[in-house]
Amino acid sequence: MKILITGGGGFLGSRLARVLQAREPKATITLLDMAFPPGLERDFGCVKGDVAARDVLEGVLGDDTDSVFHLAAVVSGGAEADFDLGYHVNFDGTRNLLEACRKLLRPPRLVYASSVAAFGGVLPDVLDDSTTPAPQTSYGTQKVVGEYLVADYTRKGFLDGRSLRLPTIVVRPGKPNLAASSFASSIIREPLAGIAVDCPVPETTGVWILSPRRVVEAFVHAHDLAASAWPTTRVANLPGITLSVREMIEAMGRVAGPDTTKRVRFVPDARIQAIVKTWPVRFRTDRANAMGFKADPDFESVVRDHMESMATA
């Protein structure tokens, strides 16, 4: 079995690679990204290159790749700040990847990481599977276009695609990135490490959350589902839990002690607030639930997962 993970140098891509390696020890797993953390190149075929370059894509796919996980992206704040780069990676990269998949000997199974940034504008209090995407950012627009491309290439029989709209992933390890949602991890990650952190949004801000462990499980589950499990649409809104920033901080305090909560300072950032306020907060994910996707049981378990992963890192 041959597997390609774009964005494989990122924390989700690398975690996914290790899960797939444990499950399929004889599989050939190739990771494509612009950079890789230390040690990853020892265990996987790591290719540094532009995800939007057709020659790079055709080179890593060969002619017999079975499965593709397309996670590579310029994140929300980055795509908003650099319009050209966002479209190069998030649009051109997706279209060129699908074109490269089209040339394979057999249609591959492809899992595409989309986002709840697909939604925006005037929204109902609770979104469901019938809510129409209306993105209000370049990142959200690029993700929705990618969903439509995956669906159309699937309809034509060029590949077997399935797209997942990801909630905000918390807690992301490492350093803050350009994602507008980066604060949601920073207000947990940094205080747990003994570091003070500025939160750019009000404590009443709601966030739709899924843990890294659950999202990696979702990628694998989406891949394993039969094509018949996606009869009407190739997109699923992943389950998550809704919390305010204050509720997240209080949950951290219950798990790790009240001193951690004192390390969060509220320092408004109008740019981040303008992006985040367009995002939906509450979903009813009946379809994804019926398909077997799972949310985290509570935020305390998310905090514990992060603490355990850092202890073993």
Per-residue pLDDT reduced to its tens digit, 263-279: 999 999 998 898 888 78
Residue whose token pair is 């790749």: 65
174 in Cβ contact with 256 (< 8 Å)? no
Is the pLDDT at 94 greater than 90? The verdict is yes
* Res. 77 pLDDT band, cuts 50 70 90: confident
- The residues, any chain, with a CB within 8 Å of residue 22's CB and separated by 6 or more, are none
Q: What integer pLDDT is reported at residue 313 of this predicted model?
A: 66
Query: CA-CA distance, 176 to 14, in Å (whole number)?
Result: 17
240 in Cβ contact with 209 (< 8 Å)? yes
Burial of 204 (0-12, 13-18, 19+ CB in 10 A): exposed
Q: What integer pLDDT is reported at residue 180 of this predicted model?
A: 75
Tell me the fold of 2-166+211-237: Rossmann fold (3.40.50)
| pTM attached to this predicted model | 0.94
111 in Cβ contact with 164 (< 8 Å)? yes
* Res. 255 pLDDT band, cuts 50 70 90: very high
Is the pLDDT at 181 greater than 90? The verdict is no
Query: CA-CA distance, 215 to 169, in Å (whole number)?
Result: 8
> Which whole number is the average pLDDT over 215-231?
97
Query: CA-CA distance, 63 to 58, in Å (whole number)?
Result: 8
Bridge partners for 4 per DSSP: 30, 68
Q: For the chain, what is the mean pLDDT?
A: 95
Burial of 131 (0-12, 13-18, 19+ CB in 10 A): middle
Query: CA-CA distance, 181 to 49, in Å (whole number)?
Result: 26
5 in Cβ contact with 69 (< 8 Å)? yes
Q: What integer pLDDT is reported at residue 209 of this predicted model?
A: 96
Is the pLDDT at 121 greater than 90? The verdict is no
Query: CA-CA distance, 205 to 227, in Å (whole number)?
Result: 37
Query: CA-CA distance, 278 to 221, in Å (whole number)?
Result: 29
Query: CA-CA distance, 265 to 300, in Å (whole number)?
Result: 21
Closest CA to 141 of 152, 133, 130: 133
Which one is catalytic: 87, 139, 148, 153?
Answer: 139
Closest CA to 302 of 232, 233, 207: 207
Pick the CATH number of 182-207+241-282+296-312 from 3.10.129.10, 3.90.25.10, 3.30.460.10, 3.90.1150.10: 3.90.25.10
Q: What integer pLDDT is reported at residue 312 of this predicted model?
A: 76
Angle at which helices 11-23 and 212-224 cross, to 10°: 50
Alpha helices in 227-298 (DSSP H): 245-256, 270-276, 286-291
Query: CA-CA distance, 308 to 149, in Å (whole number)?
Result: 38
Domain boundaries defined on the chain: 2-166+211-237, 182-207+241-282+296-312
Per-residue pLDDT reduced to its tens digit, 46-60: 999 999 999 999 999
Query: CA-CA distance, 247 to 253, in Å (whole number)?
Result: 10
> Which whole number is the average pLDDT over 306-313?
84
Query: CA-CA distance, 155 to 143, in Å (whole number)?
Result: 18
Is the pLDDT at 176 greater than 80? The verdict is no
Active site residue 139: yes
Identical fold between 2-166+211-237 and 182-207+241-282+296-312: no
